Structure 1
Amino acid sequence: MKLMPTRLSRLVLSVFTLAGLGLSSSDWVEKPAPVTPPNVVLFFMDDMGYGDLSVTGALDYTTPNLDKMAAEGTRFTNFLAAQAVCSASRAALLTGCYPNRLGISGALGPNSPIGLNPNEETLAELLKERGYATGMFGKWHLGDNKQFLPLQQGFDEYYGVPYSHDMWPLHPAQAQAKYPPLRWIEGNEQKEEIKDLDDAAEITGTITERAVSFIRNHKKKPFFLYIPHPLPHVPLAASATFKGKTARGIFGDVLTELDWSVGQILGELKQQGLDKNTLVLFISDNGPWLNYGDHAGSSGGFREGKGTSFEGGHRVPFLVRWPGVVPAGRVSNKLLTALDILPTVANVCGARLPKQRIDGVDWVALLKGDNTVTPRDKFYYYYRKNSLEAVRQGEWKLVFAHPGRTYEGFLPGQNGKPGPSTETHEFPAALYDLRRDSGERYDVREQHPEVVAQLEKIAEEARADLGDDIQKRTGANVREPGRISQ
């Protein structure tokens, strides 16, 4: 009968072996088996509202793949975009910083003289340094000049559009803007033009094909796959397979195709045997563009939408799936933001944090199921260039008097054309208790002066750090955006 060596006998044998090599036992340490770092897939939708998934209440269409992802992972119900507009939101996601700290605001247009500063370290750069293959397929919107494009910001591969696909000659409300032709970009080179809605109908499918191919080509090493879908931002377009298939019209068709895209990518992970070692995150960049009416999504009952500092602009869907690590079928109401993605993903992947200051917090413990922790309790609602419009601590939200966008009181548009809205509505100061008033309707400042005083202190910290255009203050810790080399 052959005896298997015991742990003690292996240790004794190792000591004798080391002695024969001229090493002492103190030089020898038994190392744990190597652990393969997890792959990371990050979906980032455009203008998808909190209520646009069937699991969060959507009507007249379904999102079965996303509903299944929620069932197999965790759905976070209190997740905020860093700012309720395209470029700013994306800068925050990739850097872990408030966008106004980086000098990024609004939605950068074609030929923008600024972009994300190459000195900022993105999540892609941190993971690439860790040995990850990095690929991005979709909308960039952080500067369309070559020096700002994804290959200069940590991505090995890129195929997508440089900015929102309504910034083109066929914009239904801005024909006078004279936008240049919109083209796909591969790497650093411009490719085919997206000339009309028939071309736009191929956007989701093309991005999906590229993402699936990236998984197949890099299945033997860790990878970071970033998929910022340009839709359901207007103009809406769905491929022939999905067009006309839902009772919700073109918006439902587009959401159904996006859900299909998620299903294709999750299916490829399973087919390649990567499913159990892949962290998948699904987020939107901000809330719905409500004045587009039947071509816009749903805020899920939260106040206002895209371009506002109310919850309808910031509160977005957030699903996380990682079999065996992230608890399945869980719903978490803990406050999290897009700022917190970078430090958390860096932690689970064994990557370092950026050398410059960031604003995100690490929530790995919560990710793995520890509901006793509260990683974040504060958030600053900045908008426009650098206006502090509200601060939050826990479930208290103090809104400061400010001019801003409102959709309320205006008839929404139809068939792809926007209805009116205003950017100069004067919002009064108010305190909201989001535990019982998530719609932000009831000002309770008079009942809770001590809460107002505490939130005012937090606001003063924000203004000293980041500045405040409303008060004409410059922050001590803001950085410059990238500027086109002269």
Structure 2
Amino acid sequence: MRWTSFLLLLILLGLPASLRADNRPNVLVILCDDLGYGDLECFGHPSIKTPHLNQLAAEGIRLTSCYSAAPVCSPSRAGLITGQTPTQLGIYDWIPAGSPMHVQKQEPTVARLLKDAGYQTGLFGKWHCNGKFNSAEQPQPGDMGFDYWFATQNNAAPTHANPTNFVRNGKEVGPTEGYSCQVVAGEASKWLEHRDPAKPFFALVTFHEPHEPIASPAALVETYPDADKKGEALYYANVTNMDRAVGSLMETLKRLKLQDNTLVLFTSDNGPETLDRYPNAWRSHGSSGPLRGMKLHIYEGGIRVPGIVRFPGHVPVGIESDLPVCSLDILPTCCELAGVELNDTSKLDGTSLVGMFEGKTIQRDKPLFWHYYRAYGDGKVAVRDGDWKLVALWDQGEVKPGAAYKKGDYPLIAGAKFTKFELYNVTEDIGEKENVASQHPQVVARLKKALLAKYATATANAPDWFSEAK
């Protein structure tokens, strides 16, 4: 059943007052890595089996206009935890080990705000918000509000099978047994079992799957005999294995009688990896479905991702919503649910979705905004407002996509000039096939003004990590 945003807003149930008192809701955010818009069975994949996520969607809302904060991992994660456009944080690209780039300690995060309000907070999985991981030289997850953390700097190493690079609360864990998603879900489940039951919790579970280097259980690989391309069955099994880990988390909530007062949000950090970008990506058979582009694109395939929200008794079940939402919305949504007043919202780019739960119209003060200077092609910036999406192209040519921020890149970012603009009605034209800029000059002018203003604000105080001491 498909509802328009307007009908959804009218019919969604209101939140009881108890959620703003002692019985505040728990929050579980599940973030996948490089999971494409079309990679789940409930989002139309013809082969991959995801029964637990199918059930999650059947018990809540399938979000068909759900966006990440960026088309690449570190900026997307920085945006999720801060509610801010990653560029204004200085998180311009993925963060290699040892890089000076990091989310700075003074930035408010959803974990710190909720922790200060009495929540227990935990991070489980991929961190990727600093280069000097588990070092006093840069803030670590514990400095950013997570009072318990079990994480890696970037990918599970050497692969998803028996990873050896986890750190728990500052101490190296060493070899682990099992596949990364099960290791992560198991750690989160243990934390949930031993937490203080008198306090609400915020848990951020960040699976490494299905990012390379992919490893999948042989028994699951064998369930995809028709996947005959090199690495295809490995990828399909990897998504199914992640689905099993989601199922184990939901079973933990049920066993601990937490499922009825826990808001569960499931999404991905960006679109799917491409096969030809680097040699080890031969297992990356992700799908962006009907969307244009993939990871590292500013077009929909890079930023529109699967989204599911489950909140029993507070949102309808088994429906579909085309309301544009973004991972930037997680911080203000969680804060409103927890009764946390945000004194300064001037830097926030997300919007609380609680109004949607209460049947009110959501008003964004500014359009959704994305920037990635190393995106494929000339399209580097985009905004979405309602049905409309404007893509801004620059005149610098293509900078090697996904190569990471380097010395000398900052002038490209700070001095960017945008010479052409493309306009798409992404409600009617989800694949961005028809540029209708010439037919709607007033829409272009309005969105161009908003885009350039936000770009100027985002870059005004953003750091150059290779010339400033940070």
Q: Same fold (TM over 0.5)?
A: yes
Residues 136-171 of structure 1 deviation map (CA, whole Å, 9 limit, x = unaligned): 1100001125232211111111112111347x6x99
* Map of 2:118 onto structure 1: 131
Distance 2:171 2:467 in 1: 20
Match of 2:81 among 85, 88, 94: 94
Distance 1:227 1:302 in 2: 26
Q: CA deviation at 1:230?
A: 0.8
Residues 240-260 of structure 1 deviation map (CA, whole Å, 9 limit, x = unaligned): 553433344111111111111
* Map of 1:75 onto structure 2: 62
* Map of 1:332 onto structure 2: 321
Residues 216/236 of structure 1: CA separation in 2 closer, same or farther (3 Å cut) = same
Q: Does 1:258 align with 2:250?
A: no
- Contact (CA 8 Å) 1:114, 1:483: kept in 2 or not? no
- Secondary structure of 1:148's match? coil
Question: Which amino acid letter does the alignment assign opposite residue 454 of structure 1?
Answer: R
Q: Which region of structure 1 is more displaced relative to structure 2, 388-397 or 279-288?
A: 388-397
- Contact (CA 8 Å) 2:20, 2:338: kept in 1 or not? no
- Contact (CA 8 Å) 1:219, 1:272: kept in 2 or not? no
Distance 2:114 2:342 in 1: 10
Question: Which amino acid letter does the alignment assign opposite residue 321 of structure 1?
Answer: R
Residues 33/211 of structure 1: CA separation in 2 closer, same or farther (3 Å cut) = closer
Total equivalences in the alignment: 413
* Map of 1:55 onto structure 2: 42
Match of 1:188 among 151, 170, 179: 170
* Map of 1:216 onto structure 2: 193
Distance 1:102 1:61 in 2: 36
Question: Which amino acid letter does the alignment assign opposite residue 465 of structure 1?
Answer: T
Q: CA deviation at 1:135?
A: 1.1
1:229-248 correspondence runs (5 A): 229-240=207-218, 242-247=220-225, 248=227
> For structure 2, which runs of at least 5 residues remain unmatched after alignment?
1-17, 228-232, 276-280, 402-417
Match of 1:433 among 425, 430, 451: 425
Match of 1:159 among 150, 154, 168: 150
Q: CA deviation at 1:339?
A: 0.8
Question: Which amino acid letter does the alignment assign opposite residue 355 of structure 2?
Answer: A
* Map of 1:20 onto structure 2: none
Residues 480/319 of structure 1: CA separation in 2 closer, same or farther (3 Å cut) = farther
* Map of 1:459 onto structure 2: 451
* Map of 2:336 onto structure 1: 347
Residues 482/140 of structure 1: CA separation in 2 closer, same or farther (3 Å cut) = farther
Question: Which amino acid letter does the alignment assign opposite residue 260 of structure 1?
Answer: R
Distance 1:384 1:296 in 2: 25
Distance 2:452 2:114 in 1: 35
Q: CA deviation at 1:400?
A: 2.1
Q: Compute the RMSD of aligned alpha carbons.
A: 3.1
Distance 2:328 2:21 in 1: 30
Residues 482/148 of structure 1: CA separation in 2 closer, same or farther (3 Å cut) = farther
* Map of 1:444 onto structure 2: 436
- Of structures 1 and 2, the one scoring higher in RCO (CA 8 A, sep 6+) is 2
Residues 345/479 of structure 1: CA separation in 2 closer, same or farther (3 Å cut) = farther
Q: CA deviation at 1:318?
A: 0.9
Q: CA deviation at 1:347?
A: 0.6
Distance 1:32 1:41 in 2: 16
- Secondary structure of 1:114's match? coil
- Contact (CA 8 Å) 1:326, 1:369: kept in 2 or not? no
- Secondary structure of 2:389's match? strand
Residues 154/77 of structure 1: CA separation in 2 closer, same or farther (3 Å cut) = same
Question: Which amino acid letter does the alignment assign opposite residue 317 of structure 1?
Answer: P
Residues 267/111 of structure 1: CA separation in 2 closer, same or farther (3 Å cut) = same
- Contact (CA 8 Å) 2:291, 2:430: kept in 1 or not? yes
Q: Which structure is larger by alpha-carbon Rg, 1 or 2?
A: 1
Distance 1:350 1:159 in 2: 27
Residues 355/451 of structure 1: CA separation in 2 closer, same or farther (3 Å cut) = closer
1:30-429 correspondence runs (5 A): 35-143=22-130, 144-146=133-135, 147-165=138-156, 183-192=165-174, 202-218=179-195, 220=197, 221-240=199-218, 242-247=220-225, 248=227, 249-291=233-275, 292=281, 294-353=283-342, 355=344, 357-366=347-356, 368=357, 370=359, 372-375=361-364, 378-384=367-373, 389-402=381-394, 403-404=397-398, 429=421
Normalised by the length of structure 2, the TM-score is 0.80
